[in-house]
Structure 1
Amino acid sequence: MVAITNTTSLTFLKEAIDTTLSEAEASLEAFAEDRGDAAVLDQCASAFHQLRGISQVLELSAATLMSEEMELATEALKRQHDRVLVQALGNAIVLLGRYFEYVQLKDRAMPEMLIGGINELRRAGGKSLIQESHFFSVDLSRARDPVPPAGDPSALASQGRRLRHMYQVGLLGLLRGQSRDAHLKLMARALQRVDALCGDCPLSRFWWVARAATESLATDGMVITPARKALLAQYDRQLKKLVYDGERALAQEAPLLLIKESLFLASLGSGATPAAAEVRRVFGVGGRITDADLQRELALMTGSRGSVIRSVAGALKDEINQIKDTLDLAAQGVADTDYGAVAGGLRRVASTLEMVGKEQEATALRERAGAIADWPADTEVDSVDFHALVDDLLAAENTVASLERSLAPSDDVRRDATNANISLYQLDDARMTVVGECRAGLALAKRSLASFMENQWDPMHITNLPGTFATICGGLMFLELERACRVIAACRRHIEEKLLNGDEPPTQPAMETLADALTGIDYYLESMEEQKPIGEGVLDVAEQAVAELGYPATENPNG
Structure 2
Amino acid sequence: MVAITNTTSLTFLKEAIDATLTEAEASLEAFSDDHSRVEELTRCVDGFQQLRGICQVLELPAAALMSEEMALTAQELRERVSDSRIQALGNAIVLLTRYFDYVQLKNRTLPALLIDGLNELRRAAGKPLIQESHFFSADLSRPRAPAAAESEVARNELPALVRRLRHMYQVGLLGVLRGQSAPTNLKLMARALHRVDRACGECGMSRFWWISSTAVQAMVMEGMALTPARKNLLAQYDRQLKRVVYEGERALASEAPLLLIKESLYVISLSRSTEGRIQEVKTAFDLPETTSDAFLQQELALMTGSSGSVIRSVAKALRDEIGELKETLDLASQGVADTDYASVSDGLNRVGSTLSMIGKEEDARAVKRRAEEVRRWKADQDVEGQDFQTLVDELLRVENVVASLERSLAPADDVHKAAHNTNISLYQLDDARMTVVGECRAGLALAKRSLSAFMENNWDSMHLSNLPGTFSSIAGGLMFLELDRARAVTAACHQYINQRLLAGDQAPTQENMETLADALTGIDYYLESMEEQKPIGEGVLDVAELSVATLGFPVAKAACA
TM-score range, shorter chain: over 0.9
Which of 374, 385, 396 matches 2:387?
385
Moved more, 408-417 or 205-214: 408-417
* Helix, strand or coil at the partner of 1:218: helix
Give the structure 2 partner of residue 70 of structure 1.
70
- Tell me if 1:220 matches 2:222: yes
- Tell me if 1:265 matches 2:267: yes
In the TM superposition, 1:170-249 aligns within 5 A as: 170-249=172-251
Tell me which amino acid in the other structure corresponds to 2:71.
Answer: E
In the TM superposition, 1:363-374 aligns within 5 A as: 363-374=365-376
What are the ranges of 5 or more consecutive residues in structure 2 without an aligned counterpart? none
In the TM superposition, 1:45-194 aligns within 5 A as: 45-151=45-151, 152=153, 153-194=155-196
Tell me which amino acid in the other structure corresponds to 2:78.
Answer: K
Whether contact under 8 Å (1:446, 1:515) holds in the other structure is yes
Whether contact under 8 Å (2:415, 2:533) holds in the other structure is no
Q: CA RMSD in A?
A: 1.3
Tell me which amino acid in the other structure corresponds to 1:43.
Answer: R
* 1:196-253 CA-partner distances (Å, limit 9, x unpaired): 0011111111011101111111121100011111000000000000111111111000
Residue 272 to residue 550, structure 1, CA distance change in 2 (3 Å): farther
Whether contact under 8 Å (1:445, 1:465) holds in the other structure is yes
* 1:72-95 CA-partner distances (Å, limit 9, x unpaired): 000110111101110111010000
Structure 1 residue 373: Cα displacement? 1.6
Residue 176 to residue 416, structure 1, CA distance change in 2 (3 Å): same
Whole-angstrom distance in 1 between the partners of 2:502 and 2:89: 68
Whether contact under 8 Å (2:123, 2:129) holds in the other structure is yes
Structure 1 residue 301: Cα displacement? 2.0
Whether contact under 8 Å (2:28, 2:41) holds in the other structure is yes
Structure 1 residue 15: Cα displacement? 0.9
Whole-angstrom distance in 1 between the partners of 2:271 and 2:137: 16
Whether contact under 8 Å (1:155, 1:509) holds in the other structure is no
Which of 490, 504, 507 matches 1:505?
507
Give the structure 2 partner of residue 460 of structure 1.
462
Whether contact under 8 Å (2:159, 2:246) holds in the other structure is no
Give the structure 2 partner of residue 28 of structure 1.
28
- Tell me if 1:283 matches 2:285: yes
Structure 1 residue 514: Cα displacement? 0.2
Give the structure 1 partner of residue 441 of structure 2.
439
Give the structure 2 partner of residue 524 of structure 1.
526
Whole-angstrom distance in 2 between the partners of 1:257 and 1:179: 28
* Helix, strand or coil at the partner of 2:135: coil
Moved more, 466-475 or 195-204: 466-475
Moved more, 211-220 or 360-369: 360-369
* 1:134-164 CA-partner distances (Å, limit 9, x unpaired): 0001111111100011223244233111100
Whether contact under 8 Å (2:160, 2:245) holds in the other structure is no
Which of 426, 429, 452 matches 1:427?
429
Tell me which amino acid in the other structure corresponds to 1:107.
Answer: N
* Helix, strand or coil at the partner of 2:308: coil
Moved over 3 A (4+): 555-558
* Helix, strand or coil at the partner of 2:126: coil
Tell me which amino acid in the other structure corresponds to 2:120.
Answer: E
Give the structure 2 partner of residue 328 of structure 1.
330
* Helix, strand or coil at the partner of 1:2: coil
* 1:310-341 CA-partner distances (Å, limit 9, x unpaired): 22222221111111111110010001111111
Whether contact under 8 Å (1:266, 1:286) holds in the other structure is no
* 1:454-499 CA-partner distances (Å, limit 9, x unpaired): 1010000011112211211111111110110000000000000000
Tell me which amino acid in the other structure corresponds to 1:392.
Answer: E
* Helix, strand or coil at the partner of 1:133: helix
* Helix, strand or coil at the partner of 2:112: helix
Give the structure 1 partner of residue 10 of structure 2.
10
Moved more, 546-555 or 251-260: 546-555
Whole-angstrom distance in 1 between the partners of 2:381 and 2:83: 68
* Helix, strand or coil at the partner of 2:134: coil
Residue 82 to residue 397, structure 1, CA distance change in 2 (3 Å): same
What are the ranges of 5 or more consecutive residues in structure 1 without an aligned counterpart? none
Whole-angstrom distance in 1 between the partners of 2:543 and 2:275: 24
Whole-angstrom distance in 2 between the partners of 1:238 and 1:354: 55
Whole-angstrom distance in 2 between the partners of 1:379 and 1:272: 65
Moved more, 116-125 or 345-354: 345-354
* 1:330-370 CA-partner distances (Å, limit 9, x unpaired): 01000111111111111222222222222222222111112
Count of residue pairs the alignment pairs up: 558
Whole-angstrom distance in 2 between the partners of 1:49 and 1:363: 65
TM (norm. structure 2) is 0.98
TM (norm. structure 1) is 0.98
Whole-angstrom distance in 2 between the partners of 1:271 and 1:193: 22
Give the structure 2 partner of residue 361 of structure 1.
363
Give the structure 2 partner of residue 251 of structure 1.
253
* Helix, strand or coil at the partner of 1:108: coil
